[in-house]
């Protein structure tokens, strides 16, 4: 029997596994092999995006695992995201259908607006857009995303990289509530205020870069390499990465660690059979520096750039 992650109930009543596989910077065959292996290990939550350019490979891996009888479609919680180039309201449905076609699926479990900032559309293959930013109001984009739920193309919809004020603006003007805000979150950037805000408004925080994009040569970040981290790992008989991911789970955040290494994909997932004691849990707070690893600085002059606000 494969051990699965527990699930959390979203504000619309749907269930989401509290741990997922991230696929940002998992290119083509990496994304395919990672997704296949993750499903074999017990992951049931897979996170991709139009701009990752790996939806087809992720979808192929899921299709094969369904065919092999490892999972059914209903077992897999699949998230993808609307790219900045598709914020224009006339492009939203087409963009979602394009992602579904890439994935080979009839619906996604969760469709996120990747950023509140839109980019100029030239064509679909200009995936990352350019830094030609547009003034499309994310509320107009959101209203089109709501229609995707009506059409059955997305079971749930949500936000990514939105600050608290932007989230409140969506909540005040929406017909269908966002269930999630996916943001950078790890012991070095703990998002305390945004987490509290999300909880108050019934949103789940999903964490990308939950290990802060480690740089072993630099022994960075400290929460994976310093003495305290090593001592905790030793105490629990775990790796420092497992301690970090367990910490996020206990914070009530849904971590989405990315790896294309088979052993690490398995290791990351083994965080449900132990718990950090209160003093060890508390000790992780010391690692918070408030420093992002993904600041999207090219967008910093835009009126909808989310990171000028404190949270």
**pLDDT, tens digit (0-9, with 9 covering 90-100), for 18-72:** 999 999 988 878 999 999 999 999 999 999 999 999 999 999 999 999 999 999 9
- Which of 187, 224, 182 lies closest to 203, judged by CA? 182
**Band of pLDDT at residue 1, cut at 50, 70 and 90:** low
Q: What pLDDT, on a 0 to 100 scale, did the predictor assign at position 127? A: 82
290 — pLDDT class (breaks 50, 70, 90) = very high
**176-215 burial, b for 16+ CB within 10 Å, e for fewer?**
bbbbbbbbbbbbbbbbeebbebbeebebbbbbbbbbbbbe
Q: Is 114 annotated as a binding residue?
A: yes
Q: What is the mean pLDDT of residues 81-93?
A: 98
For 223-282, the pLDDT digits (tens) are 999 999 999 999 999 999 999 999 999 999 999 999 999 999 999 999 999 999 999 999
The CA-atom distances, in angstroms, between 6 and each of 169, 186, 204, 276 are 31, 20, 14, 17
CA–CA distances in Å: residue 197 to residues 72, 102, 281: 35, 34, 21
**Can you give the pLDDT at residue 96?**
98
What is the rounded distance in angstroms from the CA atom of residue 182 to the CA atom of residue 82? 13
Domain 7-299 -> CATH class: alpha beta
* Residue 122 CB neighbour total at 10 angstroms: 11
**In Å, how far from its chain's centre is CA 37?**
19
What beta strand segments (E) does 71-166 contain? 77-82, 108-113, 118-119, 133-134, 154-160
Extract the tokens encoding 69.
């009888």
Residue 157 per-residue DSSP state = E
Residues taking part in catalysis: 52
Q: For 134-170, how does the pLDDT look when each residue is reduced to its tens digit (9 = 90+)?
A: 999 999 999 999 999 999 999 999 999 999 999 999 9
* Apex 24 CA angle, 214 and 251, nearest 5: 65
Supply the pTM of this predicted model: 0.98
Query: What distance in Å separates the CA atoms of residue 198 and residue 137, rounded to the nearest whole number?
Result: 22
- pLDDT of 130 above 90: no
The DSSP letter of residue 73 is G
What's residue 2's pLDDT?
76
Scored b (16 or more CB within 10 A) or e, 16-26 reads: bbbbbbbbbeb
Question: How far is it, in rounded angstroms, from Cα 183 to Cα 198?
Answer: 11
In this structure, the chain runs to a length of 311
Angle between helices 192-200 and 164-173 (to 10 degrees): 10
301 has a pLDDT exceeding 80: yes
Which ranges of 112-238 would DSSP assign to H, the alpha helix?
138-150, 164-173, 192-200, 222-225, 227-236
Return the domain boundaries, the chain: 7-299
Average pLDDT over residues 293-310: 95
Cβ(38)–Cβ(25) under 8 Å?
Answer: no
Separation of alpha carbons 144 and 122, rounded Å: 20
Strand 108-113 relative to strand 154-160: parallel, antiparallel, unpaired?
parallel
Tell me which residue of 196, 293, 169 sits closest to 253, measured CA to CA: 196
Percent above pLDDT 70 for the chain: 100
Instruction: Write down the pLDDT at residue 67.
Output: 98
Block residue for tokens 């000028």? 308
């Amino acid at each position: 029997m494969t051990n699965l992650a527990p699930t959390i109930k979203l504000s619309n009543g749907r269930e989401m596994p509290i741990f997922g596989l991230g696929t940002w910077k998992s290119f083509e065959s990496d994304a395919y092999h990672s997704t296949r292996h993750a499903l074999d290990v017990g992951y049931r939550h897979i996170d991709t995006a139009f701009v990752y350019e790996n939806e087809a490979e992720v979808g192929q891996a899921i299709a094969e695992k369904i065919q092999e009888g490892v999972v059914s479609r209903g077992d897999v919680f699949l998230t993808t995201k609307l790219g900045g180039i598709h914020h224009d309201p006339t492009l939203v449905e087409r963009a979602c259908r394009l992602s579904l076609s890439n994935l080979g699926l009839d619906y996604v479990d969760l469709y996120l607006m990747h950023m509140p900032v839109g980019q100029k559309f030239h064509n679909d293959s200009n995936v990352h857009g350019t830094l030609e930013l547009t003034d499309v109001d994310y509320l107009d984009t959101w209203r089109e995303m709501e229609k995707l739920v009506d059409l059955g193309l997305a079971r749930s919809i949500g936000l990514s990289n939105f600050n608290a004020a932007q989230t409140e603006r969506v909540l005040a003007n929406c017909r269908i509530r966002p269930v999630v805000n996916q943001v950078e979150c790890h012991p070095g950037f703990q998002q305390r205020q945004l987490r509290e805000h999300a909880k108050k408004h019934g949103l789940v925080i999903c964490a990308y870069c939950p290990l802060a994009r480690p740089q072993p040569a630099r022994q960075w970040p400290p929460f994976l390499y310093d003495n305290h981290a090593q001592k905790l790992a030793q105490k629990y008989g775990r790796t420092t990465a497992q301690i970090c991911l367990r910490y996020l789970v206990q914070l009530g955040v849904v971590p989405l660690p990315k790896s294309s290494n088979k052993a690490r994909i398995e290791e990351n997932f083994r965080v449900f059979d132990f718990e950090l004691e209160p003093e060890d849990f508390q000790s992780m707070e010391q690692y918070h520096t408030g420093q992002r690893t993904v600041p999207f600085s090219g967008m910093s002059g835009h009126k909808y750039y989310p990171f000028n606000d404190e949270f």
